[in-house]
Structure 1
Amino acid sequence: MTAIAGAGLAPGAAAEAPRRPAAPAVYDVAVIGAGVFGVWTAWHLAKRGASVAVVDAYGVGHARASSGGESRVIRLSYGGDPIYSPMARESLDAWAEVSARGREPILHLTGVLWFSPATDAYMAKSVDWLAANKVEHRRMDLAGLRAAYPQVVFRDGESGFVETKSGALIAGRGVRAVLADAGLEARLLKAGPPEPDAGGVYAVGPDLRARHLIYACGPWLPKVFPQVLGGRITPTRQEVYHFGAAPGDLRFSAPALPVWADFNGGELVYGMPDLEGQGFKIAFDPHGAVVDPDTQSRQISAEGLARARAYLAQRFPGLAEAPLIHARVCQYENSSNGDFLMDRLPGHDRVWLLGGGSGHGFKHGPAVGRRMATHVLEPATPVEPRFSLATKATRAERAIY
C-alpha cells in the first residue's frame, strides 16, 4: 500500500508553515467513525504506511458518541478471559505511550479497586490471572478493605483486590490525541453503505474514494446496516453521574480512592475518584432501555438519579448529600454476549464491520486497532471466532463483564 509522501517547502518559502501532503486520488483505507476503535485502527494503519482517511458524522469525541465525555476505566481483570485480559494489558501500554507524548494526560494510574463477596468465582479467576501473568496487584480481606478505604462501606463477607498499575482514561481527549498522534484529521461526513464504482474502489463521499472500508461507527452500525446488524448490535441508554465532595474533603479523590468496581451477583456498579475536577463518578453497568443514538433524550432521569443517591448512601455515605455537579447520558453498543464484532461485511471482501464495544470496549482501542489493521494489510489473517459476525445473536445473553 502507498503511504502519503512527505511534503517539503518551496524555494524561498522557509518562513512559511509546512504544507500538508496532498491527498491521494484513492486512499488505501477509509475508516468510518472516529470513536476509539476507529481512531486506533487509523493509527495502526498509518504507522504501517497506509494512506488513511477518517470520517465521522459529528466529529471526533462528540457529545453523542460512546467514546466521548470524560473518564473510562482501564482494568485488566476479566475473570481470566483468554482474549480480553491480554488485550487490555497490551492496550494499557499503548495508552501510556500516547499519554506521555501529549500535552495533557490521557491515562491516570489511580489503581482499580475490585470488591465483591469473597466467594465470587469471577473475582477469584481474575486474581488467578493477575498472579499467573505477574501483574502487580494487592489482595485484601474485609479487614484490609475497611482499613485501607474507610470512606467506603464494605459488607460482611466481602473481600477485594487492587490492580495497582491500572486506572482511568480521559475519553474525548484520548480519541483526539490518538488521531493527532497518527498525523491524521477527521472529515465531517455521514457515510452510507458501501457503493463500489467500476474501478473497484468505494466512493465514501465527495472527492473521497478508498480501496478498503472499515465501518467503526459504534451505535450507528445497525442504522447503516439494518438487515445485517439489526438486533445484533443494540444501543442502550446509560446514565453517568458526577457528585461534588465538600471543599477540602480529599477522601474521594486520588490517591485516597482509586477507580472502583463493585461486583455483586453479576451486577457491576463502578466509578472514579474525582479526576481533573470533574467530581466523583458513579455509573451502573446493567443495560438500560434501547435507544436511537441520534434522537434519544440526553437528560438524566429522576429515577436514575434517585438510584445513584441511594447507592451513595449505602456505600459512600460521605457523599450521600453531595450536590450533583454534572451528569451525562450516553449509550452502550451491545452485542448479544458482550464480545466485539470484527468481520467482513457479507459480499464484500474489502469492507469490514468493527464494533460491539458493549460498554467495556474503550480501554481495548489499541489492541482492537492493531488487529483490525492487520486484517486489512494481511488479508489472509483469520477472523477471531468470538469476533465473527456468525456468533452475533439477536438474543441478549451477556457473558462479558
Structure 2
Amino acid sequence: MGSAGRARLRIAARAGIFARSQAHDRMSDQNDSSTLSPAELQRRDFLRLAGLGAGALISGVGVSELGAQRPATPSSGGAIRRSTRVVVIGAGVWGTSTALELARRGASVTLVDQYGPGNSRSTSGDETRGIRSSYGDRAGATGELWTRWAREAITRWKAFDAEHGPRFGTRFFYETGDIILRERAEPFTTRTAELWTQLGVKFDRLTPDDVRRRWPMFAADRYSEILYEPDAGVARARASVHALVALARDAGVDFRLSRATPGAIVGGKMQDLRLDDGSTLGADAFVFACGPWLRKVFSELLENRMRLPLGHVCYFGTPIGDTRYFAPNIPSWNVPGVTGWGALPVDARGFRVRGAFAAPRPQPASGADAAPPPPPAAPDPRLQDPDLSPRWSNEDRIEGSRRVLQQVFPALADMPLLETRSCHYESSSNRNFIVDRLPGADNAWVTGAGQAEGFKFAPLLGEFGAKRVLGESTDATLNEAFAFPTQDFGGTGRGDDDE
C-alpha cells in the first residue's frame, strides 16, 4: 500500500469510521505476492493484525460486526497538540497504551515494533497478569504510591472490560480476589495491611478455618497470617494488548513492523530513527517503550542500571469436571516466592503457578558431614538478551512448581503439566518505573522498567506518559518518582535468570 493509501486510512480513522472496508480489502488484495517484496508482505500482514483484524482474532467475530466504531475523543484535560508527530517504539501494553493516549490527545502517532504486539519474546506476552494492590514490600513512599495506583488500575481494568469486552465478544478482566498466605506476620503483610487501612481499601483477615470453608481446595492449616483483597483480579495479557492495538488503530495510530535504532542526537534533539529496511523515521518526539530491549538500545546508560531476570510460569491441568479451580471460583494467591491463579474459562490454559519451591536438601548419613553445595553454573549470556534468551523451563523449575501444588493444592499435585511460559521483566536500580526524558535528548522519552508489576499499571502509565510527552501538567511527585535512574547496581548489574 502506498503512502497515499495509508494517509486515507489515517484520515478515516480520525473521523471515527475506520474499518477494513471492502474498498480497503480490494486495495490490499491487489498488492499480491507478485508485486510486494517479502518485507512489504510482512508489513501488510502486521497491519492487518494491528487493524481491526486484531479484534477479530480476539473475539472470533467477523469484520462487518466491528465496522461501526466510535470516534476517538481527545481528553478534555491539558493542551491538545494536533500538529505533534510522535513515534512510539514498542507495542507492548505500555507502548500501545501510551500511543493510544497520545492519539486521543490529538497527536499524530506512529507505533513501531520489531516482532508484533503480544509476541512471545515480549514482557506483555503470555496469557494473564494479576491485578492486585498489596505492595507492603516496596520501600518508602513507593509502597503508598503503587498501592494508590494499583487501586485505580483495578477500577480502570474493570471499566475497560465493561466497555470493550462486549465489542470484542470476550472478557479482559476477571474479579477473583487475591489471598496472601504466610506462616506468620512479616514486614510485607504488616505494611500491606497498614497501607490498605490508611487508604481505606477493603480487605479481610482470615483464619485457616475461614479459608477451608470458602475454598476447601487450599491446604491452609500451616498459615496463620492470611490477608484477602476481595476485588483484585486477573487480566488477560495478550488479548488485552491486541485489543489496545485495535483501539489505537481506530484512533489513527499508524503501525510499522521494524527494528528501530535511535538516530543521532544533535543540539539536544534526537533527529530520527533508523529502520531495518534502511529508511529513517522523523518526528517531533520519540517514546521508547521497549521493555527488556531498553538496556540493549541504551546500553551505555542502562547496562548497570537495569537487570533482566526471566520469570517462569507453569500451567497445570485441573481435575475433570472440577470447576473450583477456574476463575472466579478461586482467588489468585500468594505464598512466599510464588504466585498464581485459577484457569480462566475463556481460554482455559490451566492452573497457573509462577515461581517454585526449592528441593529439600539431602540429609547426610548419620555421623557424616553435609556435602558442600555444588558451585553455581556459569551464567548463559543469552539469558540477558531478550532476542536470544531461550524461553523454556527446565525440569528443576517444573518440579519446584509441582512442590508448590503438593503443599498448597494437594489435589493438583499429580495433574499433568500443560504449558510453560517465560518472559523477561526489567528491574531498575531505583526499583521504580521510568517515565522520563532520555538524558541528553529533550525530545526523546523512556517509559519502562516495570519491575515485574508494570502490566497492571498500563492504563495510568499510558496516560501519564502521554501527558509528559505533550507537556501537560503532571504531579511533580510522580515526575520525581519515575525519573531516569542515576545510581548503579553493584558489580556488573546483571541479574540471574530467576524471579
Q: Equivalent residues in 2 for 1:145-164 (5 A)?
A: 145-164=211-230
**Against the structure 1 CA distance between its residues 332 and 197, is the aligned structure 2 distance closer, same or farther, given a 3 Å change threshold?**
same
Tell me, yes or no, if the aligned pair for 2:334 and 2:340 is still in contact at 8 Å: yes
Tell me, yes or no, if the aligned pair for 1:153 and 1:314 is still in contact at 8 Å: yes
**Against the structure 1 CA distance between its residues 105 and 380, is the aligned structure 2 distance closer, same or farther, given a 3 Å change threshold?**
closer
Tell me, yes or no, if the aligned pair for 1:136 and 1:163 is still in contact at 8 Å: yes
Tell me, yes or no, if the aligned pair for 2:262 and 2:270 is still in contact at 8 Å: no
**Against the structure 1 CA distance between its residues 247 and 360, is the aligned structure 2 distance closer, same or farther, given a 3 Å change threshold?**
same
Q: Equivalent residues in 2 for 1:2-401 (5 A)?
A: 16=23, 28-79=85-136, 81-100=143-162, 101-102=164-165, 103=168, 104-182=170-248, 183=250, 184=253, 186-195=255-264, 202-204=271-273, 205=275, 206=279, 208-262=281-335, 264=336, 268-275=337-344, 276-284=347-355, 290-378=383-471, 381=474, 382=476, 384-395=479-490
SS of structure 2 residue aligned to 1:61: coil
How far apart are residue 174 of structure 1 and its match? 0.8
How far apart are residue 338 of structure 1 and its match? 2.8
- Mean CA deviation greater in 347-356 or 173-182: 173-182
**Against the structure 1 CA distance between its residues 78 and 107, is the aligned structure 2 distance closer, same or farther, given a 3 Å change threshold?**
same
How far apart are residue 70 of structure 1 and its match? 0.4
Tell me, yes or no, if the aligned pair for 2:307 and 2:494 is still in contact at 8 Å: no
SS of structure 1 residue aligned to 2:284: strand
- Mean CA deviation greater in 353-362 or 180-189: 180-189
- Answer 1 or 2: which has greater strand percent: 1
Kindly name which structure, 1 or 2, has the bigger radius of gyration based on alpha carbons. 2
Distance 1:94 1:30 in 2: 25
Letter in 2 for 1:302: E
Tell me, yes or no, if the aligned pair for 1:59 and 1:186 is still in contact at 8 Å: no
Tell me, yes or no, if the aligned pair for 2:88 and 2:286 is still in contact at 8 Å: yes
Distance 1:279 1:164 in 2: 22
How far apart are residue 27 of structure 1 and its match? 5.8
Aligned-pair identity in percent equals 33
**Against the structure 1 CA distance between its residues 285 and 124, is the aligned structure 2 distance closer, same or farther, given a 3 Å change threshold?**
farther
Distance 1:202 1:27 in 2: 15
1:25-84 CA-to-partner distances (Å, cap 9, x unmatched) read: x86211101111111111211111111111111011111101011010000121281211
Tell me, yes or no, if the aligned pair for 1:313 and 1:320 is still in contact at 8 Å: yes
- Mean CA deviation greater in 247-256 or 223-232: 247-256
Letter in 2 for 1:122: F
User: Which sections of structure 2, spanning at least 5 residues, go unmatched?
Assistant: 1-9, 28-50, 52-82, 358-378
How far apart are residue 373 of structure 1 and its match? 1.0
SS of structure 2 residue aligned to 1:55: strand
Letter in 2 for 1:83: L
SS of structure 1 residue aligned to 2:272: strand
Distance 2:135 2:494 in 1: 17
- Answer 1 or 2: which has greater helix percent: 2
Distance 2:24 2:350 in 1: 41
Letter in 2 for 1:350: N
Normalising by structure 2, we get a TM-score of 0.70
How far apart are residue 179 of structure 1 and its match? 2.5
Tell me, yes or no, if the aligned pair for 2:261 and 2:297 is still in contact at 8 Å: yes
How far apart are residue 251 of structure 1 and its match? 2.6
Instruction: Name the residue aligned to 1:23.
Output: none
Distance 1:397 1:34 in 2: 25
**Against the structure 1 CA distance between its residues 379 and 229, is the aligned structure 2 distance closer, same or farther, given a 3 Å change threshold?**
farther
SS of structure 2 residue aligned to 1:192: strand
How far apart are residue 314 of structure 1 and its match? 1.1
**Against the structure 1 CA distance between its residues 106 and 154, is the aligned structure 2 distance closer, same or farther, given a 3 Å change threshold?**
same
Distance 1:17 1:35 in 2: 26
Distance 2:161 2:328 in 1: 19
User: Which sections of structure 1, spanning at least 5 residues, go unmatched?
Assistant: 21-25
Tell me, yes or no, if the aligned pair for 1:90 and 1:366 is still in contact at 8 Å: no
**Against the structure 1 CA distance between its residues 177 and 99, is the aligned structure 2 distance closer, same or farther, given a 3 Å change threshold?**
same
Normalising by structure 1, we get a TM-score of 0.86
Letter in 2 for 1:232: R
